[in-house]
Copies of this chain bind each other. A is one copy, B any other.
Amino acid sequence: MEKFTQVSDISSVPAMVRKALELKANPHAHTVLGANKTVGLIFMNPSLRTRLSSQKAAMNLGMNAMVMNIDKEGWALELRDGAVMNGTTVEHIKDAAGAMGLYCDVIGIRCFPGLISREDDYREHVLSQFIKYCPVPVMSLESATRHPLQSFADMITIEEHKLHTTPRVVLTWAPHVKALPQAVSNSFAEWALASKYDVVITHPEGYELSEEFTHGATIDHNQERALDGADFVYVKNWSSYKDYGKILTQDDSWLLTNDKLKNTANAKIMHCLPVRRNVELSDEVLDSPNSLIMQQAENRIYAAQAVLKELLEGV
């Protein structure tokens, strides 16, 4: 594997999930591979789980990890080719990515969308420029349109808890007070579909995700119908893709409560965290025995570890 930014970068989701579960069973089995290797974890945005789980994954492999908050500890990067840099950007991404790659064997980068220009965000301008100029393999720590380490961890979690081969996996929109990226939802859809699950996506009208990610899924604006028979319910807010970056509604009838789960197949509940409790999901759902949120968070380690291992072996 030369980079890890989306599901198409790996040859098989089930095979990668198996590798991650092997690492989970034996996390320190590959410290020879990581010895004297370094991962740089570059954050342009805040992070908790990604920050800690990626470091933990690196350390499990015997790697060193260097964390840099480039926005706070460094400076603003220029993205435009050919720019006359007489403004506020201090360094071109070409030079920053080039240099950072000299100090690392793998680089992870987090770069959120601006949620202003759909075109800019969806061409993944920052991530793709970074990859273009970085001399070592790059893994996404969440980019403008995808969060592949999260989705990989989600697939590991479903694998551990599914009761039959093709579970019904429902992604349901939830209210939120802020305009959030579509990244987690896009990514979850493409990974669940690549896993050949029965994927249903439910949301209010106007919240349709890009078909690039949802092709093959059932789209239903009726949450109750969508949840019927669900084995897994993935709850997530996102802002509008069509009316880009906008909050169209905060309709709290979309808040997921236990009552709404009564017609599911005793569904397991998933969320990537951080979660706005009692806005997206009720406490009763999040704290129920069916909640997998901590299992998902734990599997972030083994998703990152499997990716780092593949990237090191691909070198």
Contact = CB atoms under 8 A, between A and B. Distances in A.
A90 B273 CA distance: 10
A265 interface: no
Contact of A273 (B51, B85, B99): B99
Nearest to A297: B99
A52 B64 contact: no
Nearest to A80: B277
Interface stretch (A5-13, A15-23, A40-48, A191-199): A40-48
Interface centre among A27, A46, A48, by most B CB within 10 Å?
Answer: A48
Interface string A290-315: 00011001100100000000000000
B64 A48 contact: no
A96 interface: yes
B83 A277 contact: yes
Interface stretch (A65-73, A113-121, A123-131): A65-73
Contacts of A82: 278, 283
Interface stretch (A53-61, A162-170, A219-227): A53-61
Contact of A52 (B43, B68, B83, B177): B68
A289 interface: no
B46 A66 contact: no
Contacts of A56: 38, 66, 103-104
9 contacts: A36-B59, A51-B68, A52-B66, A55-B103, A84-B277, A85-B276, A95-B275, A98-B294, A102-B298
